[in-house]
Structure 1
Amino acid sequence: MIAMQYNFSLPADYDMAIIDRRIRDKGPLLDNLPGLKFKAYLTARKGNPATRSRDNLYAPFYVWHEEEAQSDFICGPGFQAVTESFGRPQVNSWIAWHAGTSADVCNAKFATREVVAIEPDQSLSEFRRKESDVATAALSRADVLASVVAFEPTRWTLVRFRLLANPPSDISASSIQIYNVGHLSLPGVD
C-alpha cells in the first residue's frame, strides 16, 4: 500500500468556505474509486484552536492499495482539475508499513499527521516493527478510526497518520498537524 498527501497553503484571508464547497461537491466523486483504500479530505484554518494551524490548509491524504491506482488518479481528470485550480503540488508518497481502519472509520471528523526524519543509524527492520506495532495498537483506542504508518527512502522520512472521531486531546508535539475531515471517500459507499 502507498500513503500519499499533497498540501496547499492558502493565504490568511482566503475564504475557506470555497474549499468546504469543493469538498462537499467533489468529495463523493471518489467514493468507491478502484484501488483506493481511503481518501481523507483535510483542511485546517489559521487561528482555529481545534487545529492549531498557523496557515489555511487544504491537504488531502490518501491510502492506495497499489501504485497503478495512484498513477491512474494522478494522471487522470480529477487531479488535473486540482492542478488547474491550485497549481501542480508536490505529491508526497510513502510506502505503507501499516494502514488499518476500524469499522467506524466513516465517523472520522479529525486527523493528525506527523512527519519525522528516520535517523541514518536507525535499524529499519526494528523501526518498522516498532512503528507498525504502535500503529496497530492505536486502533484499539475508541477514538482512533484509522492508523497509518509509512516511510519513504528518498528523504528518509516516516509519516504517522490517524483519523479520529473527536478532536485530539493529548497532542503536545508541535510537529503534529491537526486537520478537520470534510469528507472521507471509502470503498463500498453508496
Structure 2
Amino acid sequence: MIAMQYSFTLPADYDMSIIDRRIRDKGPMLDGFPGIGFKAYLSARTGEFGSRENLYAPFYLWQQPERASDFLTSPGFEGLTQSFGWPQVKTWIVWHAETAPSLAEASFAREETITIEPYSSLAEIRDEEIRRAQRQARQADVVASVSAFEPTSWTAVRFSLYRSAPSIAGADQIYRVGHVSLP
C-alpha cells in the first residue's frame, strides 16, 4: 500500500471557484478506479485555517501500488498536467491506514509532515505512528487516518480526514475536501 500526493500552488488572487468546479465535475471520474483505497480532492485558500497559499492538492491511498502507475499514465493525469503543469508527485510507504465506512462524509483534511532524525529507530517510530493512527481513527469525527514514511527525504506524513474542521496545530496544513473517490 502506498500514499501519494501532488500539489499545485496557485496565485493569491486565483479564483478558487475554478478548483471547486473542477473537483465537482471531474471528481466522480475516479470513483471505482481499480486498486484505489481512496482519493481525497483537497483545496486550501490563502488565509483560511492558517493556509499561506491557495492549493489544489489531491491525496491518494493506493491498495495496489501498480494502480498508481496506471493513474499517472492515464489521459486524466495528462489532462491535469496540461491544465496546471508538471507536478512533483510525493509517494510514501504506508505504515498504517484506517478508514471508516463513512469515509465519503469527509469535509476536511489535516496533513502533518515530520522529520525522521538520522539513526533513529525506524521500528520504534513505525510502531508509535501505528498506535497514534489507531488512536486517532477511534475519534468520532475522524473518517480516515494514514501514517506513512518516505525514506529518500526521511520524513513521515500523518494524514487524516474529518467530518468537520479540525483544530489547527503547528505547521499542519488544513484542507477542504471537495469529493472522496472510493473503490
Q: Distance in 1 between matches of 2:101 and 2:25?
A: 25
Residue correspondence of structure 1 range 74-85 to structure 2 within 5 A: 74-85=72-83
1:78 shift after superposition: 1.1
Q: Which amino acid aligns with 2:32?
A: N
1:108 shift after superposition: 0.4
Relative to the length of structure 1, the TM-score reads 0.94
Matched, 1:32 2:32: yes
Question: Where does residue 180 of structure 2 map in the other structure?
Answer: 184
Residue correspondence of structure 1 range 130-169 to structure 2 within 5 A: 130-169=128-167
1:178 shift after superposition: 0.2
The alignment yields a C-alpha RMSD, in angstroms, of 0.7
Residue correspondence of structure 1 range 9-158 to structure 2 within 5 A: 9-48=9-48, 51-158=49-156
Structure 1 runs (4+) deviating above 4 angstroms are: none
> Sequence identity of aligned pairs in percent?
60
Q: String of CA shifts for 1:6-32, please: whole Å, max 9, x gaps.
A: 000000010001000100000000001
Q: Distance in 2 between matches of 1:125 and 1:56?
A: 36
Matched, 1:172 2:157: no
- Structure 2 SS opposite 1:172: coil
1:104 shift after superposition: 1.2
Q: Distance in 2 between matches of 1:99 and 1:141?
A: 14
1:121 shift after superposition: 2.2
- Structure 2 residue runs of 5 or longer lacking an equivalent are none
- Structure 2 SS opposite 1:180: strand
1:136 shift after superposition: 1.1
Q: String of CA shifts for 1:118-144, please: whole Å, max 9, x gaps.
A: 111210011101101110111111011
Aligned residue pairs: how many?
A: 183
- Structure 1 SS opposite 2:50: coil
Q: String of CA shifts for 1:4-57, please: whole Å, max 9, x gaps.
A: 000000000100010001000000000010000000000000122xx2111100
- Structure 2 SS opposite 1:78: helix
Q: Which amino acid aligns with 1:183?
A: H
1:172 shift after superposition: 2.4
- Structure 1 residue runs of 5 or longer lacking an equivalent are none
1:115 shift after superposition: 1.0
Q: Which amino acid aligns with 2:181?
A: S
